[in-house]
Each structure stands twice: as C-alpha cells, then as structure tokens.
Structure 1
Amino acid sequence: MNNRPLYFDYAATTPVDERVIQVMVECLGFNGNFGNPASSSHAFGQQARRSVELARQQVADLVGAQAQQIVWTSGATESNNLALKGVAQARGFGGGHIVTSQIEHKAILDTARQLQDSGIEVTYLLPDAEGLVTAQAVSEALREDTFLVSVMLVNNELGTLNDIPAIGQTVREHGALFHVDAAQGAGKVAINLTEWPVDLMSFSAHKLYGPKGIGALYVGPRAEQRLQAQIHGGGHEGGLRSGTLATHQIAAMGAAFALAAEHFAEEAATIVRLRSRLLKQLGAIAGCCLNGSATQRIPHTLSLTFREGEFNGQALSASIAFSATSACNSASNAPSHVLLALGLDARNAGRTIRLSLGRFTTEQDIDQVAQLIKTALASPPAFWAAPQP
C-alpha cells in the first residue's frame, strides 16, 4: 500500500468518502433499506422513497435548486445526452442550430455530432487565449434558429471557470435554452440555480466523493415542456428517465453533496493553500507554463506544460497518478482536443500534465510531487538515444 503512486487525478474520479460509503451500505442487504422506491404500498418501498427524496433535496440544496427539479440519471454523460438529445427531439429534430464549444467534454461533443447527423447545425466555439468561452463569443454565434446553447461550467482539463451567469443572460435574452455541464464544478463553485439563468445542468457523484454510476440533471421551468425522455419504461422521474431507482447510489450522491455543502468554505481554503504551495515550488522550473487563465479558474485543477528540458512522462507516471489529458481521451493516446484548441502544438500537448487536487491531498503530497516532477525533468527518458553528430 505504501508503494502506491501519489494520487493527483481527482478530476478523473474521487475516492468515495467513508461517510458516504456508510450511507450506501445502509441501503444494502435484507436488514438494510433495500426496498424499491416505487413500491409505495409497503414500508420497505416507503422507506427507500424517503431516502431518495432526502438525497434529491441534498443535491438541490448544494446548487440552489428545488428538489423537484432534480432528475436522477446514471451520471453526467447520460445527463448531457438527455439534455441535448431530449431538447432536440422535443422540437422534432431536423433543422435548427446549437452552439457549444470546442473544449467541452466528449459527452457533449460526441452527442452534438450525433445531432448533426440528424440535420441540426452545430457551431463549435474556440476558447479565447485564456481557455474561456465568453458571453460575447456566444452572442456572436447565436442565430435566429438557435434553440440550445451548451457550455461547461469548469473545463475538465484546464480548470478554467466560465462566466455562466453572463452567458446564460445572453442566451435567455435570445430565447434559446441554456445547458451547463457542471460535473467538474459542483462542490467547488458556488452555484445558485435560483438566480442563474440556466435551464439544464448536469451533475456527477463520482467527481464529488460519491460512487460512480449515478448523476443528475437539473431541469428548470423553461425546459420542463421542451425536453423528451431518452430512456422509456415505467415513467419514473416525472416521465423523463425510466428505470428502477438505485437507492444506495442515490442516497450516497445526496450524502456526498451534503458533505460538500457543509465543508465548502473550509475545503476551498485548503485547496487554495495547497495549490499555492505547489505552484511556488514548480515556478522555479524553467519553461513550466500554466495553461488557461491564472485567475478565472478553480484551484483544484492545473494543466502544466514543460516546454524545456527532458520530459520523462513515463518515469513520472510510475510515482504520480496524473492525467496527460482527460480520462475520456486517454485510451486513444491522441493529443488533447482542449490543448489543441488552446493553440498548443502536438509536441507541447505531449509535454503537458494535468494535476488535480482533492479532499485527501496533503502538504507532504504536494512537496513530494514537486520533487518528483523536478527529478523527472532532469532524467532522460527510458529509451533516450543520444543525438547523431
């Protein structure tokens, strides 16, 4: 256990908090809260339903929504699909225009390309030099037939924070619906859907110390009648997402979001302090560059390019769990679409690492990771060959 790499990949997934695990376990086994929440005729189902509705309220409380506006899904990927496809299908597919950005998660980009195949036009906005999608860029892309805009709250690779209230106001004045992928932002950014002009917002439990396989979609009043279900069979979740509710996962997501709300200020301050400690040590490395805005970002995620020296990523990965790109891109070994959109060439994209900090990161971890990076930069790659004369 002591030989495990240092964990700096919280943006990919977080370990489930022990307090959340306890809530999950209480919903399993014959002596637990195992009933079907839809079985309202007996005590087992009623108890499960109470846990589901408590969790719905806990998720809503963290993001300033009403409990009835939270729809359970299997994760942010499904939430994104339901938002985009559900809105497109409700208006009959064929024709119309959607605006999104080139640096969205693949769950948005791949879904948008599927909608293009059905005859919908899509504009993919470039980020600015700071890695941000601006309200002005969105405004300039809007057309008379634009019916949906989808822009993420926090970029999963850069950690940059888009001005969602400003973008949302622009979209609302136009009359289109506005969807936000907030998988990387919930619990890290103060979200208030009572005030923000957002119609649909996607959440994931496993980015916030909850289990994988459970997420939610916020459906605001402007979107209620403009969204069609993508999974049918029983009319669960107000007819928007059929399927027997997984009480243990839902209760765990609620507990995770409640913990995030309870410790929000404290954890934010801790992550800011740890990020500053890390950047101070890495700042001494020649050619080390932070990608994306230095100020309009969350402190949890850092994208760092090492433009000088020998970059031995293979040696680094043996001692540090980090990402070279987002988890959804890792299998292809292709350069990050986010970094390419930001203007990096393939070489520098290949010399970039994403370090993401979280609840269990310590000062000792920070000091160790900084030293390991310095050592890796000073070491030749395992298959290094001397240049020919």
Structure 2
Amino acid sequence: MSQQQIVYLDNNATTRVDDRVLEAMLPYFTEFYANSTGSHISGLTIKEAVENAAWQTADLINAEAEEITFTSGATEAINLAIKGLIYQDRKHIVTIQTEHKAVLETCRFMENIGFEVTYLPTRSDGILDIQLLEDVITDNTLVFIGMFSNNETGVIQNVSAISEILKAKNVLFMCDATQAVGKILIDVKELGIDLLALSAHKFYGPKGVGALYVSAKAKIKMQPQILGGGQQKKLRSGTLNVPGIIGLGKASEIAVNEQNENQKRIEFLRNKLETGLLQFEDAFVNGNTENRIYNTSNICFPGVNSEQLILALGNISVSNGASCSAVTSEPSHVLKAMGLTDQEALSSIRFSLGRFTTSEEIDIAVEQVFESARRLQETS
C-alpha cells in the first residue's frame, strides 16, 4: 500500500459524494444561483428544481413531496421533529437507550421543560423487547422515537412490530432512519412511520443537507424551530440550500435505482472482512448478526485498546464510536447499554463499508488490522 492510499471504512460517519451528485449540483453554484423564492424567471426555475428534488427525496421513502421539509441534516431534522411536538397535549416520550446522541440529548431537553421520558433498554444483541414498549405506553404517551438501523452496530429494529403497537395505542412513531435511508428499502406508508429524519451525506450526497418527513395523514401540528421568512410552509425558515437540495435529490434518485445492486456487493465484502477479522483470538461481533444493515460490522478485539488500534492503522479509516466522535476515551453508550463492559466497549471497532469500497481494500484492511491488533495485544 502506498503512503498516500487511504482505505476508507468509516462510511457510517460520512460518505464520498458520488460524481453524478456533484455534477448535478455544480450548475446551482454558478449558473442557476437565484433565490428559490424569487418571483422572476430565474427564481421560478430554481423553485421548480427544488420541487423536483423534493419529489426525488420523497420517492426514496414512498412519501409525498409536500411531506418533505429540507433541513441542514439529520440532527436538525431530529430536533425539529421532537421539539416541534412541544405544544401537544400528551407529555410522555418513549425512546431507546441505544439511540444517537441527537435523540437522547433532545429528549433530555424535553425533560427539562416538563415532559416525561422513558429510556428503554435493549437485549444484549441490541434489539428492543417489543413487550417492554407495550408495557410502558400510557394514555399520556405522545411519541415513540426509535432508530431504524443503529449507527454503531448496524442493528435493525423490528420496525413493523413497533409500528403495529403504536398504531393500536394511537402513539406517534418518529424514526431516525439516518443510517438506513438510501441503503435499504423504506416505505413510510407501509411501515406506519409518522416522522422520519434523514441526511444526504450518509448515502453519497453532500454534507449540510437533510430532510424531515412529516406524515400528512397523521395531521401533526409541528412547531417551527427556526423563524423568519416562513419558507417551507412556515415549518423551517431561511434561504434554501439549493445546491445541497439538488444533491440530496440526485443521491435519492441514484439510491432508488441502485440500492439492491449495492447491497449484494457490499454485503459480500462486509462478510469477507468479518470472516478474516474474526480469526483474531476471542474476537466477536457486537449486536445481532441476522438483523443488521449490510454494510456494518462492529467487532470487539479483547485486550486491544481501540484508540491505539485506530492510530496504529494510519491510512485505514475506522471508528470506535458514533460518527460525531470518531476517537473518544469514553466507552460507547450504545455498547454499554447492550451489556458490554467498559473494557469490551473500549476494545471495539466499527467498520462501515460503502459504494466505493473494493475487494483489494478489504484484503489490505484484514491484514493490517489483524497484525496491528496482535501487536497491541502482545504489548498491553
């Protein structure tokens, strides 16, 4: 491997922008740069392009264009979804301990202003016990917030079963689908999802743009968090990030056409990586291996400090926690909630593959991770 070559296996943190996405975006920086709210021909042209991007994004999750609100990313979408329910009559929120910090911290904010929040544990494999959810729902429960696919382990929750319970109890379903959208088929109508957050940079679109789906059928009266000119049906004011929105739309279009093909190839490479790395003494996979996203493997290397391993790998990009903190001395709250010890959590590495990962890169990664981990284990 040359000194400059990077083997990038941190696609859950962010992905490379697809060349076709970049090509679609570029004219909206220099040629079609008018404000989308302008009433002149240039503005109306941009407005049409934004509306087309809304249709492309909606099509990715089987929604309607008018149900899509563009945001700066999934974190803003999550904040808008949860805080936007602040004036509802019910004041009880249910979520899972293994959620992303964007959900957990926003729920803590809601607690500070008078809401009750229940944080449900998972089984040791990261899957929520559906009975626990059913048991904690009361007449005061407003919304359940649950990830589709976990960002650290890739574990996929039983969304259909969760939705059935919530529908029967007349409870809203807010789904953080940031790690699943663009990778697997998601049908918000069939799954009964009322609110869904997504981010373009997780599936080969640009950073700084995402979306919140708000079901028209659920008739949720959302409260805006950003006030100003009343853009996007007064739900999210501010001049639209047109190049980013065009990029999100194009990334969505590509995902609709290619996600099945990508899944087969990436899952094969993930399994190849996992087979090689599990030859390491006592190594094991964190989380349910049957119900998980096809690009993710979270592996514990007992006796190996993950921070030291990441540094030793140099040009191989992996992480030991959430994408917002690639190297941290704190054990992962996700792995801890699944029952791992501090030491086990601090010895775990997340590998996340993507559209541009090659078989040669997997061979390089297996060899270097195995050798580096063995050296660190011997010297610890």
Q: Same fold (TM over 0.5)?
A: yes
Partner residue of 1:16? 17
Q: Residue 206 of structure 1 is aligned with which of 198, 201, 210?
A: 201
Q: Distance in 2 between matches of 1:191 and 1:288?
A: 33
Q: Which moved more, 1:244-253 or 1:215-224?
A: 215-224
Identity %, equivalent residues = 37
Q: Distance in 2 between matches of 1:166 and 1:195?
A: 12
Q: Deviations over 1:65-106 (max 9, x none)?
A: 11111111111000000110001x2326xx721000111111
Native 8 Å contact 1:286 1:308 kept in 2: no
Root mean square deviation, CA, Å? 1.8
Cα separation, partners in 2 of 1:176 and 1:314, compared to 1, 3 Å: closer
Partner residue of 1:81? 79
Partner residue of 1:283? 278
> What's the offset of the Cα at 1:316?
3.4
Native 8 Å contact 2:321 2:328 kept in 1: no
Q: Distance in 1 between matches of 2:296 and 2:122?
A: 18
Native 8 Å contact 1:282 1:370 kept in 2: yes
Partner residue of 1:91? 88
Cα separation, partners in 2 of 1:333 and 1:135, compared to 1, 3 Å: same
Q: Residue 67 of structure 1 is aligned with which of 65, 68, 83?
A: 65
Q: Residue 164 of structure 2 is aligned with which of 169, 176, 198?
A: 169
Does the alignment pair 1:265 with 2:277? no
> What's the offset of the Cα at 1:315?
4.6
> What's the offset of the Cα at 1:144?
1.7
Cα separation, partners in 2 of 1:350 and 1:68, compared to 1, 3 Å: same
Q: Distance in 1 between matches of 2:328 and 2:376?
A: 25
Where does 1:240-255 land on structure 2 (aligned, <5 Å)?
240-255=235-250
> What's the offset of the Cα at 1:381?
7.3
Q: Residue 341 of structure 2 is aligned with which of 345, 353, 356?
A: 345
Q: Which moved more, 1:70-79 or 1:162-171?
A: 162-171
Q: Which moved more, 1:350-359 or 1:131-140?
A: 131-140
Partner residue of 2:368? 372
| Counterpart amino acid of residue 114 in structure 2 | G
Q: Distance in 2 between matches of 1:261 and 1:370?
A: 31
Task: Give TM-score, length-normalised by structure 2.
Answer: 0.95
Aligned to 1:295, the other structure's residue is in SS state coil
Q: Distance in 1 between matches of 2:221 and 2:123?
A: 31
Q: Distance in 2 between matches of 1:205 and 1:276?
A: 26
Q: Which moved more, 1:239-248 or 1:311-320?
A: 311-320
Partner residue of 1:178? 173
Does the alignment pair 1:38 with 2:37? yes
Q: Deviations over 1:270-326 (max 9, x none)?
A: 111111211221232221100000100111111100125787515534131111101
Stretches of structure 1 that go unaligned for 5 or more consecutive residues are none
Q: Distance in 2 between matches of 1:314 and 1:80?
A: 30
Native 8 Å contact 2:303 2:347 kept in 1: no
| Counterpart amino acid of residue 56 in structure 1 | A
Cα separation, partners in 2 of 1:123 and 1:187, compared to 1, 3 Å: same
Partner residue of 1:48? 46
> What's the offset of the Cα at 1:19?
0.8
Aligned to 2:147, the other structure's residue is in SS state coil
Stretches of structure 2 that go unaligned for 5 or more consecutive residues are none
Cα separation, partners in 2 of 1:79 and 1:331, compared to 1, 3 Å: same
Cα separation, partners in 2 of 1:366 and 1:233, compared to 1, 3 Å: same
Does the alignment pair 1:3 with 2:1? no
Where does 1:132-147 land on structure 2 (aligned, <5 Å)?
132-147=127-142
> What's the offset of the Cα at 1:331?
6.3
> What's the offset of the Cα at 1:173?
1.1
Q: Distance in 1 between matches of 2:352 and 2:298?
A: 9
Cα separation, partners in 2 of 1:162 and 1:96, compared to 1, 3 Å: same
| Counterpart amino acid of residue 365 in structure 1 | E
Partner residue of 1:220? 215
Cα separation, partners in 2 of 1:222 and 1:118, compared to 1, 3 Å: farther
Aligned to 2:245, the other structure's residue is in SS state helix
Native 8 Å contact 2:309 2:376 kept in 1: no
Aligned to 2:21, the other structure's residue is in SS state helix
Structure 1 runs of 4+ with >6 Å offset = none
Aligned to 2:28, the other structure's residue is in SS state coil
Q: Distance in 1 between matches of 2:223 and 2:305?
A: 52
Q: Distance in 2 between matches of 1:91 and 1:310?
A: 46
Q: Distance in 2 between matches of 1:258 and 1:6?
A: 27
Aligned to 1:122, the other structure's residue is in SS state strand
Native 8 Å contact 1:200 1:223 kept in 2: no
Q: Distance in 2 between matches of 1:330 and 1:271?
A: 22
Cα separation, partners in 2 of 1:226 and 1:133, compared to 1, 3 Å: farther
Q: Distance in 2 between matches of 1:285 and 1:380?
A: 12
Q: Distance in 2 between matches of 1:46 and 1:245?
A: 13
Partner residue of 2:29? 28
Q: Deviations over 1:95-150 (max 9, x none)?
A: 72100011111100000000000011100011112111243221122122111110
| Counterpart amino acid of residue 24 in structure 2 | V
Cα separation, partners in 2 of 1:51 and 1:358, compared to 1, 3 Å: same
Native 8 Å contact 2:73 2:199 kept in 1: yes
Partner residue of 2:184? 189
Does the alignment pair 1:155 with 2:150? yes
Q: Distance in 2 between matches of 1:27 and 1:302?
A: 37
Task: Give TM-score, length-normalised by structure 1.
Answer: 0.93
Partner residue of 1:101? 96
Does the alignment pair 1:297 with 2:280? no
Q: Which moved more, 1:45-54 or 1:325-334?
A: 325-334
